[in-house]
Amino acid sequence: MRRSVSGFPLTKKVVRRFVAGEQAQEARNAIERLRDTGLAVTVDHLGEETLDARAAEATARAYITLLEALKPLRLGDRGEVSVKLSAVGQRLDDAMALEHAREICAAAAASGATVTLDMEDHTTVDSTLSILRKLREDHPATGVAIQAYLFRSERDCHDLSSEGSRVRLVKGAYREPASVAHQGRTDVDKAYVRCLRILMAGNGYPMVATHDDRMIAITELLADRFGRTIGDHEFQMLYGIRTDLQEALAGAGHTVRVYVPYGDDWYGYFMRRLAERPANVAFFLRALGGK
Ligand code: FDA
């Protein structure tokens, strides 16, 4: 599948709908365009689980180079990077992932940007939260994604709802067993609302990452109920998905942060975006067929 996907030139156009480009310069161009329409960004250097220490090191370097390249854009806190710990060595050794993540946090701090840790499959959650705690000792603004579909996440949201804590709430994008995660859409949506309520009632900074109109409307109701104002939480969406909604919310004064993935290792990310929506698969197949 990977070979056939990479082989079709047209496929690249399809991939480009969700991925800003393969090079840092292309990411930078996309970020400038988003900035000019009033959107904040979080940039993901694409890449997932590695068992190779040199690849982990190379990913950390790529983030540091990217952060350098973004400095002239003066994004301040409207600039952020998103890091998958598995790409910087988490599967090999927690200490290695922590060290690389620390270097990335330091580079981000030097350009006024923040870092959020993506959340991957459920076997990584304890390790990711433990690394987060250590990173926050020096870089308290470091955020983390919490996946509402996991049974444990309400408890994690409680633990992370104190002042200064930045939590990106997502529904969850990995195929997880029924022993650890809600399976049906309705159950996942209900769990999302329960987690959202905990974060909005707390003292942290909720980052509401969804394209779901109902979740966005519920966020606004909860903001009213808990006396939150427009600047103390934000919305996040993925590059290329519901751009009309991204711009409308930003136009209404909300902080809207767009998750901008770039790099040549786009396969896993792209496949998750296809899996989320049957219409995307149809779009992809039409592109393969040249229609
Ligand atoms: P849902 O899937 O119900 O979609 C609601 C509506 O949004 C759809 O009806 C459609 O209109 C639109 N939509 C959603 N997905 C689409 C797609 N692929 N193509 C086109 N339209 C689409 N997950 C994770 O496990 N770990 C993580 O760290 C992150 N990080 C992350 C960051 C950000 C900024 C976002 C927005 C999302 C993530 N995710 C994630 C992914 C997340 O878990 C989830 O899979 C997607 O956001 C889709 O869920 P929605 O909340 O949008 O709802």
Domains of the chain: 19-265 (3.20.20.220)
- Which of 171, 193, 207 to probe ligand 1 with, by most ligand atoms within 8 A of CB? 171
- Which of 84, 144, 170 to probe ligand 1 with, by most ligand atoms within 8 A of CB? 170
Euclidean distance between the first and the last CA atom of the chain, given in angstroms as a whole number: 20
Closest ligand 1 atom, CA of 172? 43
What ipTM did this prediction achieve? 0.97
pLDDT tens digits for range 164-199: 999 999 999 999 999 999 999 999 999 999 999 999
Read off the pLDDT band of 128 (50, 70, 90): very high
Read off the pLDDT band of 275 (50, 70, 90): confident
Do residues 158 and 198 lie in contact, with contact meaning Cβ atoms separated by under 8 Å? yes
Does 11 or 229 have the greater pLDDT score?
Answer: 229
CA dihedral 281, 282, 288, 291 (to 10 degrees): -160
Q: Beta 143-147 vs 80-83: how paired, if at all?
A: unpaired
Is the beta carbon of 280 within 6 A of some atom in ligand 1? yes
What value, to the nearest 5°, has the Cα angle with vertex 52 and ends 46 and 55?
40
Catalytic residue list contains 118: yes
Catalytic residue list contains 175: no
Minimal-distance CA residue to ligand 1 atom 7: 211
Residue 90 assigned to a binding site: no
User: For residue 259, which phi and psi values (nearest 5 degrees)?
Assistant: -85, 115
Whether the predicted model's global pTM rises above the 0.90 cut = yes
Is the beta carbon of 17 within 6 A of some atom in ligand 1? no
- pLDDT mean over 9-28: 84
Closest ligand 1 atom, CA of 275? 18
Question: Does an H or E element contain 174, and which?
Answer: none
Q: Beta 205-209 vs 234-238: how paired, if at all?
A: parallel
Residue among 18, 3, 9, 66 nearest 238 (CA): 18
